[in-house]
Structure 1
């Protein structure tokens, strides 16, 4: 078990079935929060996360809530009401973690309008309307944590649209912090660098030269792990971070310094 400093809190985590989202869900669960995770396709993976949290003594539920289509925010909260009522009978939450996203895009020359629209729909529009729909549910003193990326500050033209979505997400965070501060709600972004997840497995794992190169770019000299990000999110979700808002927390291990 964790610190239990989130006991009595309800957390919604989008894209919680794998990678960084899974690590966040498991960490917040260990800290005592009731965790609702969303998934788009892999129900088995989502259920595995739920069972892992429950096995450790926590409370969790998985919600099928694909993102990227008009009305996805409202549909997500409808799924929350339908499936998480046992844990949140009043429909209220304390923590919203916008983690789900498309982690790729093409370069400027080859990017299509369809690809542009898709990555912005999932990475920017969905968090915006999830929060908009969730504001009446988010308790005073709550937390909004948006998972951004180091590419919002590091130029990577080969994934230009993806980087642009994360810059937009950081601006969204800044404005949320200003607007919601009177309610004691904090809003912050966490910006990971290269993290060893299944999304990056095809080019990172099993390739010592690539892994060594990525590690050499970080001041701390290694490839990031999902738990590195989850622990920062846990801090921001806790009362220890009550005086931190409107910030982008770099979680790259000092990449590109």
Structure 2
């Protein structure tokens, strides 16, 4: 699934996991607005992925949508092969940016969390991020950028979020180690931690439940819940050359949540 004009070797290319919806979708579109083509993943909804390709095409850039379950490491080697083939379609041998965004939610109290639930979160949010990044390192350019998506819940403890937030905390530690180990290649690695955002994440809880939306607004300094357009442009700007000296940081993008 591709779209857009023919890319030259100077065109920046991003890989964004979970790019068919929510924050991933918004990031892909805002990267396109900055002249960046994308290879993005979707899990099952090919129709939604196709819509994102169309939005990228409207910006005059290229996009390739690839299916991937980021919780299954066994899929990563075939996926990397498809990435290599997709890069060839885009006229490139390497990509520039990696955004580890794909994720699932969980709101089960610690006493009720099952081993299956915890393993599922671990596979997607930490093991998947760790090994997909590892598998893609040979294809990312020296001087490239990696952004790992975390959560405001690693700083603010809200009951029912322990298992999810703990995996995001592990990703934040991994970010610092990646920055250190990839420093010789001049690859910058940062964490972006969104606050509560109105998307379909968690079943659209913040977007569709007026009571929850109101509570989020009340403990946010700017007086509202976040929107996808608050996050995607920030990630796109963080990947840009203007922010080349930002490295190994956790950047919370929450409108001043719980301060």
Both proteins in one fold, TM over 0.5: yes
Q: How much does 1:71 deviate? A: 2.2
| Cα offset, 1:210, TM superposition | 2.9
Equivalent residue for 1:70, pick from 49, 73, 83: 73
Residue 205 of structure 1 and its aligned partner are, at CA, apart by: 3.6
SS in 1 for 2:88: coil
Instruction: Report how far residue 235 of structure 1 moved.
Output: 1.6
1:85 counterpart = 2:88: yes
The reply on whether 1:211 has 2:217 as its aligned counterpart is no
Q: CA deviation at 1:19?
A: 0.3
2:199, 2:206 within 8 Å by CA — same for their partners in 1? Answer: no
Aligned-pair CA distance for 1:104: 1.8
Question: In 2 relative to 1, CA 205–250 (structure 1 residues): closer, same or farther, beyond 3 Å?
Answer: closer
Match of 1:29 in 2: 32
Q: Give the distance between the partners of 2:21 and 2:103, measured in 1 at CA.
A: 12
Deviation sequence 1:47-79 (CA, Å, 0-9, x none):
110111112211111001112123233232122
Quote the Cα distance in structure 1 between the aligned partners of 2:141 and 2:208. 45
How many angstroms apart in 2 are the aligned matches of 1:202 and 1:248? Answer: 25
Cα-Cα RMSD:
1.5
Distance 1:202 1:136 in 2: 37
Shift in alpha-carbon separation, 1:202–1:139, aligned structure 2, 3 A: closer
Q: How does 1:18-167 map to 2 (within 5 A)?
A: 18-90=21-93, 92-167=94-169
CA distance in 2, matches of 1:42, 1:241: 33
* TM-score for both structures, normalised by structure 1: 0.92
The number of residues matched between the two structures is 250
CA contact (8 A) 2:106 2:202 kept: no
Q: Residue in 2 aligned with 1:4?
A: none
Equivalence for 1:3: none
Alignment partner of 1:244 is 2:246: yes
Contact 1:61 1:84 in 2 (8 A): no
CA distance in 1: counterparts of 2:212 and 2:161, whole angstroms? 18
Matches of 1:31 and 1:44, distance apart in 2: 25
Which whole-Å deviations, capped at 9, do the CAs of 1:113-145 have from their partners, x for residues lacking one?
Answer: 111111110011111111111111111110000
2:7 maps to: none
Report the CA distance between 1:185 and its aligned residue: 0.8
Please list the CA deviations of residues 4-24 of structure 1 after superposition, one character each: whole Å capped at 9, or x if unmatched.
xxx611100000000000000
State the secondary structure of the residue aligned to 1:210.
helix
**CA–CA distance in structure 2, aligned partners of residues 113 and 88 of structure 1:** 45
- 3-state SS of the aligned residue for 2:161? helix
TM-score by length of 2: 0.92
Q: 2:11 aligns to what?
A: 8
2:32 and 2:61 in contact (8 A); partners too? yes
